[in-house]
């Protein structure tokens, strides 16, 4: 039982690592997207196409997600080491954060308005969307 779970975990780690390497390889070929992001995109399409089964990576991904906080410790320590640089560039960093936040909020709102059709029922309720439970009968 334990050996079977260990093998399933190691298989999941191997699959996730393979997709990371595929993304790094594609980035090395000149694709202007970070390798980790490319690997996730390829992994998504492999899951969608059924090339990779969710059961194969479930144990490994759950472990990584449960311990995600620990994976940010090196980043935090590195930031503490760069306090001088960060304090000298604080205004530029804050400005870029605010501009990018405004861009994301504006883009999300405009895409939402463009992609989602207007709901007459919501307009009558002052913009409030009714809660759909899926139990309503089709009338």
Can you list the residues of the chain whose pLDDT is less than 70? Answer: 1, 119-139
Burial of 9 (0-12, 13-18, 19+ CB in 10 A): middle
**CB 74, CB 67: distance < 8 Å:** no
The first and second tokens of residue 50, run together, are 């059924």
CB 6 within 8 A of CB 55: no
Confidence at residue 37, expressed as pLDDT on a 0 to 100 scale: 93
Cβ neighbours around 123 below 10 Å, total: 10
User: For the whole prediction, is pTM greater than 0.85?
Assistant: no
């Amino acid at each position: 039982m334990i050996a079977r779970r260990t093998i399933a975990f190691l298989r999941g780690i191997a699959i996730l690592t393979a997709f990371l390497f595929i993304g790094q390889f594609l980035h090395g070929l000149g694709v202007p997207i970070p390798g980790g992001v490319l690997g996730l995109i390829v992994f998504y399409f492999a899951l969608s196409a059924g090339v990779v089964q969710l059961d194969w990576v479930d144990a490994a991904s759950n472990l990584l997600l449960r311990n995600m906080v620990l994976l940010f410790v090196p980043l935090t320590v590195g930031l503490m080491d760069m306090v001088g640089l960060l304090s000298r560039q604080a205004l530029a960093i804050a400005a870029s954060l605010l501009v990018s936040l405004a861009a994301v909020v504006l883009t999300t709102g405009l895409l939402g308005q463009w992609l989602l059709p207007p709901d007459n029922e919501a307009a009558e309720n002052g913009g409030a969307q009714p809660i759909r439970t899926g139990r309503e009968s089709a009338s």
